[in-house]
Chains A and B, each alone.
Chain A
Amino acid sequence: MTTAAIYLTTGLAVFIIGVVGLFWNRNLVRRALSLNFMATGVFLFLVALGRRDPMPFADPVPHALVLTGIVVAVSTTALLLVLICRFYETAETEGESSVNASAERTSVVQNHGENGASETDGGEVTT
């Protein structure tokens, strides 16, 4: 087993953990965290692919790609977190007329309901 093979497997495992976490958790902040793990898994896989034959210097192209990816990931995470914060804040301040809708939305994070409607609701926000 080579170094590259070890980290290829690790990247795959971290990505899968991220996928499972993304769909398992109802809490939107946890879903954002899962997305970050998925991204890191992909980065690890990419760089390990560029390290298959051990040379004195590694293939710099995946490094540059992943460096770009890390910065894009942090900016999308920031936007996502602001979206999530605004979502919970506006869900909280909704009027009496739509109290049912906001209760349904908070149930996305609080309860483990098997409600299909609330599932799609949460999914839309995450993407």
Chain B
Amino acid sequence: MNGALLIDVLLAAGLVVLAGASLRARDLFTGVVTFMIFGLLMSLAWVRLAAPDLALAEAAIGSGITGALFLGAMRRLEESAPEVIAPAPERPPGANGRFALALGGIPLALYFAATALVPALLDGPSGLAEPVAAVLKESGAENPVTAIILNLRGYDTMLELVVLLLAWSGVCVLQGELGRTNIVPATGELAVLGAFVRFLRFPGVIVAGYLVWVGGAAPGGAFQAGAMLGGVGAVGLMAGGAIRPLYAGPGVRPVLVAGAGIFMIIGLLLSITAGAFLAYRGAQAKTLILIIEILSTLSIGLVLTLLFAACTFPPSPERPGEPVEGAP
């Protein structure tokens, strides 16, 4: 067994052990932190699978933002329903556990049935790498993943931005838009953190801008950059609303729909001029992709910030569902 395979085996074993440990942890906080460590190991696994775009996304979104969402929800439940956060009592599997284990056998059986019936599943030729490489020149991006996300399958990405908007709308239905009254203002020690976070937004925005720009040619892009902005926003909210304009300015709704909106506008214009939805090729593609990416980054960053806020802060009791000031 050579060294690279040894790393793979160790990484794989670590992933399985951490996944099990996270779900078996008696303390929910331990479980969530183990999940975040699992996410960091996952980004190493993505590197081993030659997927650096996914490594970036996993570290920022899969581990970072998702972990922050869980920790935020736990902080909130600690006040309203502390018994949910309390360590679970030790208990035997019971009927529920046996049912769960039996259910876990189904994917295992399906996997063995599929590999037995279709041997090519494990060692057949994989993929679409060559067809993608053939059209890469016209797509307006040198990074094949960016080319697929923003050009070849641009339709999927547009709908994905709509999914983010739908999640935000669902949150608004459940507890109203984020109002200023929800955020606990920074005092004492938090005020120092607030000052630090206000400084942190500059490198945060620079890194996000770099990720968008570099995404055309190298790993990076709108989602990783948006997650970066979302992270800055989330830290700002944790510091007692240190970065107010991100979520409470008058332009919050236009920014939220900017990503999906520009996609639709460009798509519709092209369906008139070029004859097909989102059919950009060649010279114009690079410019259009950059415009879409920049606006999408802003939308994704704001949606992620607002989703984090919604998980962390309960609706204010005196004015539930108060709309954001200045919103139409």
Chain A proximity of B141: nearest CB distance (Å)? 11
Quick check: is B3 within 8 A (CB to CB) of the other chain?
Answer: no
Most B-side CB within 10 Å, residue of A3, A55, A67, A68: A67
Quick check: is A101 within 8 A (CB to CB) of the other chain?
Answer: no
A23 touches B103 (CB 8 A): yes
For the complex with contacts A19-B103, A47-B46, 11 further pairs of A-B residues with Cβ separation under 8 Å are: A5-B122, A13-B16, A16-B108, A33-B35, A57-B133, A61-B127, A61-B148, A75-B307, A78-B311, A91-B81, A106-B83
Of the A-B pairs whose beta carbons lie under 8 Å apart in the complex, a sample of 23, sorted by A's number, is A3-B49, A5-B122, A7-B12, A7-B48, A12-B108, A17-B16, A23-B100, A37-B22, A37-B35, A40-B39, A47-B46, A47-B51, A47-B54, A61-B132, A63-B51, A67-B145, A70-B54, A71-B223, A79-B170, A81-B70, A85-B76, A85-B311, A106-B83
Partner of B57, one of A19, A48, A67: A67
Q: Please indicate the chain A residues that have their CB under 8 angstroms from the CB of B54 in the complex.
A: 43, 47, 63, 66-67, 70
Chain A proximity of B150: nearest CB distance (Å)? 9
Chain B proximity of A93: nearest CB distance (Å)? 9
Q: A23-B100, A77-B66 are in contact. Are A82 and B175 (CB under 8 A)?
A: yes
- Cβ contacts B104-146/A at 8 Å (1 or 0 each): 1011100100000000011111111100110000000000110
**B residues touching A (Cβ–Cβ < 8 Å)?**
4-5, 8-9, 12, 15-16, 19-20, 22-23, 28, 31-32, 35, 38-39, 42, 45-46, 48-51, 53-54, 57-58, 61-62, 65-66, 69-70, 72-74, 76-77, 80-81, 83-85, 88-89, 91, 93-97, 99-101, 103-104, 106-108, 111, 121-129, 132-133, 144-145, 147-149, 153, 156-157, 160, 163-164, 166-168, 170-171, 174-175, 223, 300, 303-304, 307-308, 310-311, 314
**A residues touching B (Cβ–Cβ < 8 Å)?**
1, 3-10, 12-30, 32-34, 36-37, 40, 43-44, 47-53, 55, 57-64, 66-68, 70-79, 81-86, 88-89, 91-92, 106, 109-110, 112, 114, 119
A19 touches B50 (CB 8 A): no
- Give the top 5 A-B pairs by smallest Cβ distance, nearest first: A23-B100, A21-B23, A78-B307, A59-B127, A75-B167
Q: A33-B32, A79-B170 are in contact. Are A28 and B175 (CB under 8 A)?
A: no
A20 touches B310 (CB 8 A): no
Chain B proximity of A52: nearest CB distance (Å)? 4
